[in-house]
Amino acid sequence: MNSAKIIGLGGVFIKFQEPKKMNLWYKEVLGLNTNDYGVLFGFNNSNKSRGFLQLGTFEASTDYFGASTQQVMLNFRVQNLAELKNQLAEKGVNIVDEIETYEYGNFLHISDPEGNRIELWEPVDSVFEKTEDFHDMF
């Protein structure tokens, strides 16, 4: 089994007054690949596998980030999320919720010592390879 650790940045999530308009701007003006969640970037890992990073565009009123004053949330790619959760709990890290599982991975939220919510993501990158824009990324 892979050791539990953070293996990279999975995304940066930003609150916007009009996220759908921002997605359109990123696509039409900057020429980026957008999806329902914002902008999707593909990259090659050092082990020659592919990975993905999301610039997430969220409604300004979302409570997904925790405190309403938090305007940006980091998402870290992790391996072995269940074990990492145990390690973080042993270190006294505030675990905000339980692990949630979706087709594209497992998620858990923690908060840093200043109360900023952080999302941990154990990805299933193969799901993104099925998207129609996948081949344009590489």
pLDDT in tens, 80-128: 999 999 999 999 999 999 999 999 899 999 999 999 999 999 998 777 6
pLDDT band at 50 (very low <50, low <70, confident <90, very high): confident
Tokens encoding 137: 């990324």
Angstrom distances, CA of residue 84 to CA of 51, 67, 98, 118: 20, 24, 13, 14
Least confident of 33-42, 43-52, 66-75, 91-100: 43-52
Residues pairing with 107 in the sheet: 100, 121
> Does position 24 have pLDDT exceeding 80, yes or no?
yes
- Give me the domains of the chain, ranges plus CATH numbers: 5-137 (3.10.180.10)
* CA gap 77, 8 in Å, rounded: 5
The predicted model gives 51-64 an average pLDDT of: 93
Handedness of CA 129, 82, 62, 115 (dihedral sign): negative
